[in-house]
Amino acid sequence: MIVGGARRALGGETWCGDAWGWRRVGAVDRIALVDGLGHGREAAAAADAALAAFATVDDGDPEQILRRMDEAARTTRGAAVVVACIEPAMRRLVVAGVGNVRAVLFGRRRVHIESVPGIVGTGIRAPRPLVLDWSDRDLLVMWTDGVATGLDIDRSLLRLKHEPDAVARQLLADYATGTDDAAVVCALLTGASP
């Protein structure tokens, strides 16, 4: 699996409240995309708190991970979060999100992954995860609300999918709204982790 991402702060801001993390725990790759509410220093603090919790959870599915992130973000303004757990050996994707974050699995079929309403950090009831099978070389794309909801991957970008960093940068350049912090994370799903 190859993962890449890009983010940018709202124009004029030093702090970016949109952030992401990726870690491998045993045979499972985990990705979290966090959008701290608003922008600026307080949004960045919310994202940092949620990602710090993500970095310490060594077991569990996205539902359990979201609960831990919710606890960690309680003293902040909160965040929207999507968490994906990828099991390469089983070709299984387990994903759940809370708030204004989006994800799509691009492959033989296009699967839109919907988040439930809410704010991580306010005592959420974590959503039931969606479980999907995937094919080798499918592309998982996750983005925050600083990126247009109509984000799409055209054929020219699909040719770049072996470089998730390049795809994330291009999507951010093409679809960032300019009205909020923005982040895009892409994961090229393959059957074996390096």
Bridge partner list, 82: 33, 97
Q: CA-CA distance, 152 to 138, in Å (whole number)?
A: 14
User: What whole-number distance in Å separates Cα of residue 147 and Cα of residue 75?
Assistant: 26
CA atoms of 52 and 154, how far apart (whole Å): 34
The tens digit of pLDDT for each residue in 68-114 reads: 999 999 999 999 999 999 999 999 999 999 999 999 999 888 899 99
For residue 125, what pLDDT is reported?
A: 83
Domains of the chain, each with CATH number or no CATH? 2-188 (3.60.40.10)
pLDDT of 143 above 60: yes
Provide, rounded to the nearest whole percent, the portion of the chain with pLDDT above 70. 97
State the Cα–Cα distance between residues 128 and 32, nearest whole angstrom.
16
Could you read off the pLDDT of 160-192 as tens digits, one per residue? 778 999 999 999 999 999 999 999 999 999 976
**What pTM did the predictor assign?**
0.94
Helices (H), 32-131: 41-54, 62-72
Amino acid at 193: S
Per-residue pLDDT, 194? 47
| CB-based contact 86:28 (threshold 8 Å) | yes
**How far apart, in Å, are the Cα atoms of 80 and each of 17, 98, 152?**
10, 6, 21
